[in-house]
């Protein structure tokens, strides 16, 4: 009886569903993501200089021929990491504010802004991007090449912020010069904290307090800046 019951149970078992075949676009995207993730992991764990083509292929499980097919070579991978980092930064800020009610107070918007920005600056992707751009800057200086402002990480981040600044704080009218100064100050503070984290291998000891201080500083600077107040040439 037991054998027959087991046989009957086995016969009633539903056939396993086969996983749908991935499209070529999906396979390409998956391979690309694997290569980028492996490179970011390598840079964060063993540094930029030791992240060789052999290390990238070992960690990603992808042949170097496949890497070249997707990115052309190591420079293509590094450029994609930096580009994706800036795109994620801009998208992360926009997403953080999309979840807020329409009439959110200025202090809460400032807090959301700083927290979302730190999500980027405190990430492994940013740390890898920072090392890439630093190495690129040193390399160009050694070759006596003039600095290309369009590749400056400060300017790229500033562009990302400027695109959505008026969406985040539409009532503020600080004037162009003061707005740029505050943006540069915010970038300098966050990138400085990120650099400390990179050097120490862990978050700075007073990270939360320093982020709160940045929020209070921005709130003080923004105070009274609505409806044309504080406008500069």
Domains and CATH numbers, the chain: 25-72 (1.10.10.60), 78-233 (1.10.357)
The model's pTM is: 0.73
Predicted local confidence at residue 104, as pLDDT: 86
Picking from 88-92, 136-140, 165-169, which range would have the lowest pLDDT averaged per residue?
Answer: 136-140
Predicted local confidence at residue 37, as pLDDT: 94
Percent of the chain with pLDDT over 70: 79
Question: For residue 92, is pLDDT > 90?
Answer: no
How many whole angstroms separate alpha carbon 144 and alpha carbon 80? 25
- Digit-coded pLDDT (tens) for 101-129: 878 888 999 999 999 999 999 999 999 98
Which ranges of 105-206 would DSSP assign to H, the alpha helix?
A: 106-121, 124-142, 153-168, 176-200
Question: For residue 178, is pLDDT > 60?
Answer: yes
Q: Which residues contact 131 (CB under 8 A, 6 or more apart)?
A: 43, 47, 48, 198
Q: Which residues contact 230 (CB under 8 A, 6 or more apart)?
A: 173, 174, 175, 178, 224
Among 24-28, 214-218, 222-226, 229-233, the range with the most confident prediction by mean pLDDT is 214-218
Rounded (to 5) percent helix, strand, coil in the chain: 75, 0, 25
Q: How many residues does the chain have?
A: 233
Predicted local confidence at residue 233, as pLDDT: 34
Predicted local confidence at residue 8, as pLDDT: 47
How many whole angstroms separate alpha carbon 171 and alpha carbon 230? 12
Question: For residue 152, is pLDDT > 70?
Answer: no
Question: For residue 181, is pLDDT > 60?
Answer: yes
């Amino acid at each position: 009886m037991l054998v027959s019951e087991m046989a009957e149970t086995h016969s009633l078992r539903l056939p396993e569903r086969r996983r749908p075949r991935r499209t070529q676009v999906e396979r390409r995207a998956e391979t690309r993501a694997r290569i980028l993730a492996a490179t970011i992991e390598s840079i964060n764990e063993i540094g930029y200089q030791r992240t060789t083509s052999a290390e990238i292929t070992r960690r990603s499980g992808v042949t170097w021929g496949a890497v070249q097919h997707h990115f052309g070579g190591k420079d293509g991978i590094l450029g994609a990491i930096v580009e994706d980092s800036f795109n994620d930064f801009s998208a992360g800020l926009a997403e953080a504010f999309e979840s807020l009610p329409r009439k959110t107070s200025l202090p809460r918007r400032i807090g959301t802004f700083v927290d979302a920005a730190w999500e980027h600056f405190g990430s492994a992707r940013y740390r890898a991007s920072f090392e890439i751009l630093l190495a690129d800057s040193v390399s160009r200086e050694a070759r006596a090449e003039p600095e290309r402002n369009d590749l400056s990480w400060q300017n790229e981040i500033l562009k990302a912020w400027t695109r959505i600044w008026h969406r985040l704080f539409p009532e503020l009218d600080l004037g162009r010069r003061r707005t740029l100064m505050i943006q540069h100050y915010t970038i300098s503070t966050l990138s400085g904290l990120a650099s400390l984290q990179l050097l120490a291998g862990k978050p700075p000891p007073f990270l939360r307090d320093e982020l709160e201080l940045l929020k209070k500083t921005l709130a003080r600077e923004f105070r009274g800046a609505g409806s044309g107040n504080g406008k500069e040439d």
